[in-house]
Structure 1
Amino acid sequence: MPNRVYISFLRLPLLVRILMIALLVFLSFGISIHFLEPDTFPTIFDGIWWAIITASTVGYGDYVPHSFLGRLTALILILFGVAFVSSYFGTLAAAAVTKQDALHEGKIPFKGSGHIIIIGWNERSKELIHHLTNINNQQMIVLIDESLEANPVKSRFVHFIQGKGHVDNTIMKSDIENAEKVLITADRGNDELQADMNSILTLLTIKGLCAQVKCIVEILTAEQVVNARRAGADEVIQSNKLTSVFMINSLHSKGDGLLLNVIHQLQENRFSSYPIHQANVGRNFREVGLDLMNEGLLLIGLRRGDETILNPPHSFEMEENDQLLTFK
């Protein structure tokens, strides 16, 4: 039985063990001094108070032993007690620094809910995180990347996890089950096909651990869009296709950068969608649009199932389950 207790004691964290030994020392010396000099230390609490104050090197002087045995006890307490107190606070400080370093290096798991997980550190994710951390309703972001050695963003709203996105242990550290959304960015440092394969593998890992979480994945090659949807992607972003749209617009425009200005407006969260009100079901596009204009919203289209309809005819009738697309 004593051996089992000793083994259990050794399994405790070092900080807890030192604290328990220090408390045992305070209790032992506090009780001892009470029995050695009951007139000077009338209660056991007075003895314990004196032991803690003496061992912590404060030494108020409100209780002072007068006998030889009492002073000898005080000397032993100072030799042993100060050592344990110093060890405790030294270990506490070292543990705090170690944990802070581990947090900065991405070794500490995240605990929370409603957060956004972004996988991959690149110019797109950098810009996105900068935007998300500078809006009014800031949301916790968990950044996962294997190439970084430390958190690249100095914000209390960004938690960094170092590791590969297609490894179960790495994803579990992000508290995936309580996440709101996951964004998987493509690694443009690899071949485009290989980058897409890595993104889809990461997607499969996430969906295998938590099928209900919404996943947005960036795909570079058009051929892999179907595979990404088969793997469970809720939304696929074809970044190369979007880039070609900008290039075509620049070639055919007069250098006014109109499309870039529109995208800049979208970055300010002025574009939104929401379900149609029951009162608007059966009304036409023009009628609903005029009502929304009175609220300061510009109706530009709607989503019906998987189809997005922009600027439909004025007589176009609204149906139940339509999602209105507005611009503020």
Structure 2
Amino acid sequence: MFQAIYYKFVESPILLRIFGIAVFFIVSFGTAVHFIEPDTFPTIFEGIWWAVVTASTVGFGDFAPKTTAGRLLGIGLIFAGAGFLSAYFINLAAAAVTSQNALREGKAAYENKNHLIIVGWNERTKEIIDHLQTFSISRHIVLIDDSLRTNPYSEKIVHFIQGIPHRDEILQKANLKNAASALITSDPNKNEMYADMNSILTLVAMKGSSPSLYCIVEILTNDQVINAERAGADEVIQTNKHASAVMLNSIHQEGASTALTHLLDPLNGGLLKTMAPEPDWVHMSFGELAINLLKERVILMGIQRAENTMINPPLAVQILSSDRLLVIKH
């Protein structure tokens, strides 16, 4: 039994061990001084009080041993107890500094749930994080990146993890299995094909660890879109394709890019959403539903039906229960 207690004590954290030894000395010396000088220390508690004050080098002077034996006991307590108490507070401060450095340098694991994991640090990531902070209900963000050495944000906003995102130990640090969703951005420092390969590799690692995790992945080349979908991507963002579409609109209509940016900017009230039709809307025409939604300050833009997306379809098209409505709303 004593051997089992000893092994548990040895295996416990160093702060707990030092604190335990200091408490042992304080209780032992406080009890001993009560029996050595019962007149000066009428109760064990008063002896322990004297031991705490002496070991912490505060020295109130309300209790003090008067006999030689009691004073020798006090000397022993100062050498033993004070040393362990000092060591405890020094290690406590060092642990706090180490923990803070680990958070700043991306070495600490994330322990909360329902967070958003963002892979890759770039200008797009910065814009996303900045915008998310403006929402009334913001989800905590875990940023995984191999190029950064310190957290670019406060730990209250972003929990930074430094490392290669497709490694299991890094995903475990990010508490992947308890995350709500993940966004994998493309590395701007690599060529497009190599960047897509890394994004898909990270996607495979995430889906392998947590198949139910909702994953959004940024893909730059058209050829890799199918591979991202095969790897389990719930959404594929084709950045180059979207940028090309905006540029084409600007070629045909000057100022179109500015209009589109304002239209889709969440800070401008343009939050693009998909929503399921309510039972009363089924079999209504697109035109009729669009007028009804405008009364609620919701703009109906199109319909997602199976694999097809119809933007501004004919007004007579009927709404089906399986449709997803493409709207802009607050």
* Contact 1:138/1:157, CA 8 A, preserved across alignment: no
- What secondary structure, in the 3-state scheme, does the structure 2 residue paired with 1:189 have? coil
- The answer on 1:88 being equivalent to 2:91 is no
Distance 1:267 1:173 in 2: 36
Change (3 A) 1:269 1:71: farther
Matched letter for residue 250 of structure 1 = S
Q: Quick one: which amino acid aligns to residue 91 of structure 2?
A: T
3-12 vs 13-22, which deviates more? 3-12
Question: Which amino acid letter does the alignment assign opposite residue 216 of structure 1?
Answer: I
Is the 1:111–1:175 Cα contact (8 Å) retained in structure 2? yes
Note the C-alpha offset of 1:107. Answer: 0.7
Letter in 1 for 2:113: S
Could you say if the C-alpha distance between residues 224 and 123 of structure 1 is closer, same or farther in structure 2, counting changes exceeding 3 Å?
same
Distance 2:273 2:220 in 1: 26
SS in 1 for 2:265: helix
Structure 1: gaps of 5 or more residues: none
Q: Residues of 2 paired with 1:317 and 1:48: CA distance? A: 83
8 A Cα contact 2:199 2:219, kept in partner:
yes
Q: How many residues align?
A: 328
Write the mapping of 1:41-120 to structure 2, written as runs, cut at 5 A: 41-120=41-120
Paired residue secondary structure (1:187): coil
Q: Which amino acid aligns with 2:227?
A: N
Q: Is the 8 A contact 1:192 1:220 kept in 2?
A: yes
| Residue 146 (structure 2) aligns with | 146
1:284 and 1:250 map into 2 onto residues whose CA distance is: 32
Q: Is the 8 A contact 2:116 2:140 kept in 1?
A: yes
Superimposed CA distance per residue, residues 89-125 of structure 1 (whole angstroms, 9 cap, x where no aligned partner): 1100000000100011111111112111000111111
Q: Is the 8 A contact 2:216 2:234 kept in 1?
A: yes
Give the partner amino acid of 2:314: P
Letter in 1 for 2:210: C
Q: Is 100-109 or 286-295 further displaced after alignment?
A: 286-295
Amino acid at match of 1:302: I
SS of 1:153's partner is coil
Whether 1:227 and 2:227 are equivalent positions in the alignment is yes
For 1:5 and 1:114, the matched residues in 2 are separated by 39
Residue 288 (structure 1) aligns with: 289
Instruction: Call closer, same or farther: CA 1:158–1:295 in 2, change over 3 Å.
Output: same
Question: CA-to-partner distance for each residue in 1:145-164, whole Å, 9 max, x for gaps?
Answer: 11111111225121001111
Cα 1:306/1:60, change in 2 over 3 Å: farther
Distance 2:244 2:222 in 1: 13
Measured against aligned partners, the alpha-carbon deviations of 1:118-139 in whole angstroms (never above 9, x if no partner) come to 0011111111111112322111
Q: Deviations over 1:153-187 (max 9, x none)?
A: 22512100111111111111111111111111111
Assess if the C-alpha contact under 8 Å between 1:249 and 1:259 holds in 2.
Answer: no
Match of 1:201 in 2: 201
Verify: 1:166 aligned to 2:166, yes or no.
yes
C-alpha deviation, 1:268, in angstroms? 4.6
Distance in 2 between the 1:32 and 1:7 partners? Answer: 27
Q: Distance in 2 between matches of 1:268 and 1:122?
A: 25
- CA–CA distance in 2 between the matches of 1:242 and 1:196? 16
Q: How far is 1:261 from its partner?
A: 2.8
Q: Is the 8 A contact 1:219 1:225 kept in 2?
A: yes
Residue 265 of structure 1 and its aligned partner are, at CA, apart by 5.4
- 163-172 or 256-265: which moved more? 256-265
The 2-side partners of 1:17 and 1:304 are apart by: 64
- After superposition, residues 231-310 of structure 1 pair within 5 angstroms as 231-255=231-255, 257-264=258-265, 268=269, 270-310=271-311
Is contact 2:131-2:267 (8 Å) kept?
no
CA distance in 2, matches of 1:151, 1:128: 16
Match of 1:315 in 2: 316
Distance 1:213 1:307 in 2: 25
TM-score when normalising by structure 1: 0.95
Once the two structures are TM-superposed, the CA of residue 262 in structure 1 deviates from its matched residue by 2.3
Query: Structure 1 stretch 90-99 or stretch 299-308: which is displaced more?
Result: 299-308
- Separation in 2, partners of 1:255, 1:155: 39
| Alpha-carbon distance in 1 for matches of 2:328, 2:309 | 15
The one-letter code of the counterpart of 2:66 is H
Give distance in 2, aligned partners of 1:294 and 1:263. 20
Question: Taking structure 1 as reference, are residues 283 and 145 closer, same or farther at Cα in structure 2, changes over 3 Å only?
Answer: same
Conserved in 2, the CA contact under 8 Å of 1:133 and 1:155?
Answer: no
Distance 1:152-1:185 versus aligned 2 partners, 3 A rule: same
Shift of 1:3: 5.5
Q: Which amino acid aligns with 1:201?
A: L
Identity across matched positions, percent? 47
